[in-house]
Amino acid sequence: MARKTGSHADITGPRVRAAALQLFARHGYAAVSMRQIAAEVGVQAGALYLYTPDKQALLFDLMRAHMREVLDRWRDEPKGLSPGERLDAFTRYHIRFSLDRPEAVFVSNMELRNLTPEHFAQIEAMRRSYEDELEAILVAGRADGTFRLEDSKLAALAIIAMLTGVTGWFRSGGRLSRDRVEQVYRGMVRGAAGSA
């Protein structure tokens, strides 16, 4: 049961990553066995090692891919010119991105402690550089008087924590639409930044 049409389309590799992501998100990295992942893909456990050197690499690849996408897509985002507009764009971007990939966000936030020290350092660096993106907006806005805040590093961390929390309770089809959630958070983030 190998090889699909058109040369050798790698279809199982992505399926392994998708299954691992879903299971890690639902039960946690440590609580998921390679055999469970394999069963989800419809394959025996040994076959997973054609696509990953080990379980740890599976987690790391998932998290690295997610963080890369977070950073890359933010760079591609059209940005407003004023700090206020840029903050709004950040809010909207973070919420949309998080709601589009709830499992990846969840895993990336929860499984940091299950990375080896080397892997942790790499993910942590990407995470920090994302925080720096927001902090730069806050610093610019404080400089030109748009924001009134006491500590821009703290504010960046607080705002990201607030935004990431959305994935914890949002249910599509629930009381609030995505647009409404974005709108409400835009107001709260502006408020937290001391924007007029």
138 binds, among DNA, a second copy, none (CB under 5 to 8 A by kind): none
CA 9, CA 189: separation in Å to the nearest integer? 45
Q: Where are the alpha helices (DSSP H) in the chain?
A: 12-27, 34-41, 55-76, 83-100, 102-110, 117-143, 152-164, 166-169, 178-192
- In this structure, what DSSP letter does residue 47 have? G
**Minimal distance, residue 1 CB to a second copy, in Å:** 32
Asked if residue 87 lies in contact with residue 190, where contact means CB atoms within 8 angstroms, the answer is yes
Shortest distance (Å) from residue 99 CB to a second copy: 14
Q: Are 146 and 195 spatial neighbours (Cβ–Cβ below 8 Å)?
A: yes
Residues of this chain that interact with DNA (CB under 7 A) are 1-3, 5, 7-8, 10, 12, 32-36, 38, 42-50, 53-56
Q: Which of 15, 18, 22, 28 binds a second copy (CB under 8 A)?
A: 28
Q: Which is nearer to DNA, 33 or 177 (CB)?
A: 33
Binding mask 74-103 for a second copy (x = CB under 8 A): ------------------------------
Closest CA to 192 of 143, 142, 144: 142
Is 23 a binding residue for a second copy by CB under 8 A? The answer is no
Question: Cβ of residue 45: shortest distance to a second copy, in angstroms?
Answer: 19
